[in-house]
Amino acid sequence: MGLALHELLHACGLDADDPGHERPPGNQAPIDGDFFMTDSVLMPGSKPELDKEFYGSKMMPNASGQFSVTGQTVNLVQSIWLLGQF
C-alpha cells in the first residue's frame, strides 16, 4: 500500500528531486518520514494486512491502519495543485 501511495504522489507532480524523497546525503540520524521517502524498510507480517513499513523512524500503517504525510510533503503537493507551480 505504501508503494502505491508513493507513486500517487509522483502522479500528483512530485519527482525524485523534491525534498523528502531521499534522505539527505550523510544524514543517518533517525528522522520522521512519510511514504514519499524511498528508503523504507518492510517488515512482513503473518498475512499481508499485518505488514508494516518504516519510513525513517515512523511505522506505517499505524495502529489504526492509517498512513501519514509530513507537512513538507503536503506543502509540495499544495504548491503544485493550489498555486499552479509545475
60-79 residue pLDDT tens: 888 888 898 999 999 999 99
Compute how many other C-beta atoms are within 10 angstroms of the C-beta atom of residue 20: 23
Strands (E), 1-86: 41-43, 52-55, 58-60
Q: Parse the chain into domains and list their residue ranges.
A: 2-81
- What's the confidence (pLDDT) of residue 85? 58
Give, rounded to a whole angstrom, the gap between the first and last alpha carbons of the chain.
26
* Cα–Cα distance, 62 to 78 (Å, whole number): 24
Among the ranges given (13-22, 24-33, 73-82), the one the predictor scored with the smallest mean pLDDT:
24-33
